[in-house]
Structure 1
Amino acid sequence: MAERDSVSHFSELDDTSAAAYGQAVRLGRFDRAVIAERLGIPLRDVERAETVLHNLRLLQPMPGRREVLVPIGPDVAAADLVGDAERQIRELQQAVTSVRSTLISLLPTYFEGRRERNRLEAFDVINDADMVQSMIDEQRQKCRSEVLIVQPGGPRPAHALTTARGTAESMLSRGVRMRTIYQHTARSDLPTRAYVRDIVALGGEFRTCDELIDRMFIYDREVVFLPERSGGPDATPGAAIVREPVLVTFLCSVFEYMWNNGSPFTAESTKAPAVNDELKAAIVRLMVQGYKDEMVARRLGMSVRTCRRHIAEITEDLQATSRFQAGYNVAASQLLDLDRSAALGPG
């Protein structure tokens, strides 16, 4: 049976076989000699046609006389020929439907598990400051190509700069590109300027902005360290470590946006500069928005005392006797125009 099915699978109804079938229908049986004479073809061609028709179930033995082949209707032959295949197809379709339904029923379990797995793999929230520092040190040692740093809060503490200098020198010596963003207020700090000057000489890059969102370290565009602040200002300092590719890519874009809108910080000399125009513009903008001295200082990363000194200088430059009058006189100054042009970043 298997051999017959294999042969019939490759049998094709050609013109000679079709003509022989027509003659068999007219005769009521398949008579090789008569069909060869009527069609005017060699007997061997009729024999080949008989084999084709038999394989296609169009010829079947007459009951009681198996040596005589009689023609069968095409619809009956088709049912006989493909019946088993159709049954198998139906069984396969039922099996596929059953398997699909069984597997689809697991979708809620899959998505719930994936959400849990993504949460565990994408984020680690560490509340132990020593552990956070250990993980940062590990990433610094493993870093292969690039580190992106955002350091808000104005001037860096001297002890932090000492540690940062050794770390930066080590990474730059390995060919790691290092870019750091400070706030404008860091420009007036002599230790920070000295640090920037030394690291720039080794290939590091620095820019400053008037305001920064928060501290952020990005290593090889694969791992991001963010401050963990859900516990409030009095909570133990910690960090959220982000590894989820979509979020890491987004945070890298945030860095690039701040970098493109920042001003290069090269620290050519060790002399502390006077407050620059960009910082003045940032102070004026926050004053016009109604922020108190304390909030202006916090957002720009400086002490309240320093902020008030700058505000006094700005008020004097604007020939005003009060904060209100200073805000009014801003309309006649170019400070906010400067702020808007600076926001466009370098070309």
Structure 2
Amino acid sequence: MAEPSALSAEDLAVYRAILLHRQHDVGRLAERLSVSEAEVRASVERLVGFSMLRPSWEHPDTVRAVSPRIGLELVLQREQQELALRQERIGQTRAALDALAAEYSACEESGGYEGSELLLGIDRIRTYLETLASECAEEVLSFLPGGTLPTEAIAAGQPLNEKAMLRGVRFRSLYLQSVTKDRVTYRYVRRARELGSDVRLAPALPMRLLVVDREIAVIPGDLVAARATALVIRSAPVVRALLALFEAHWKDAELFEEPPGRPFDGITSQERELLRLLADGEKDEAVARQLGISVRTERRMVAEMLSRLDARSRFELGVKAARMNWV
């Protein structure tokens, strides 16, 4: 599970309301703070992640505030850890970019360089990548910035990557966090995970990068006469710098998981089961018991789905849910 991001002023306002006013009801907290219930829930989730809120012993459906001294100390520790990681990434990025700048300069001045090769044109680039995919033996590392992968790129690369994975080649890929917003790319990444690829998400990436067997790196270059280019690097010092850059970003990236509380088709497995039980005519108490939650939580889930689908009754909720193939 990824570490929660830094707390905002709104998060601290929710924390103070729970600590000082003993207020736990989401609706009342939202009213007191003049924010939406969704914002309150998001703040509570982050505060729990920071260990500033913990489950109540007396009321399991609510949370209690941890001592401010303990809570703020935990926040400071996390901030210090994040600062150290950011400084490490900056240092590794600077070293890698300096090495790349020297490599590009040597290439441009001499038309080539021992340890590097400039590929011109999309056909030559793809042919080279196909060869790498068929010959790689141990590991493939990649930065893949951009929340959407072109459909033709997925179609061209997926069979080759899958064959390599089935041979036992380990894949570690870093995508932008926005990848979960594109259905085609999301399915491609999820398929790669099913085959054993390690996938993580980052808020930003410095470049597009491919490193094969820790010996060869490929980086897209600038257009030359309107043609795509890519720099192939075999120089050991430069490849080492790029590996260090990759590991620095990998260490701080979050795991690729089903979006918390909301999978790609818009409904969780728990919500789907709740709808099925309601459609079978089960009462709230029976539904809650079978789901292993309290009646209060079950009714809150129903209310949230009524609001999400703009349904005025449970009957209308069932109709709209059926139209969306949720039940």
- Please state which band the TM-score falls in when normalised by the shorter chain: 0.3 to 0.5
Q: TM-score, normalization: structure 1? A: 0.42
Greater C-alpha Rg: 1
Q: TM-score, normalization: structure 2? A: 0.44
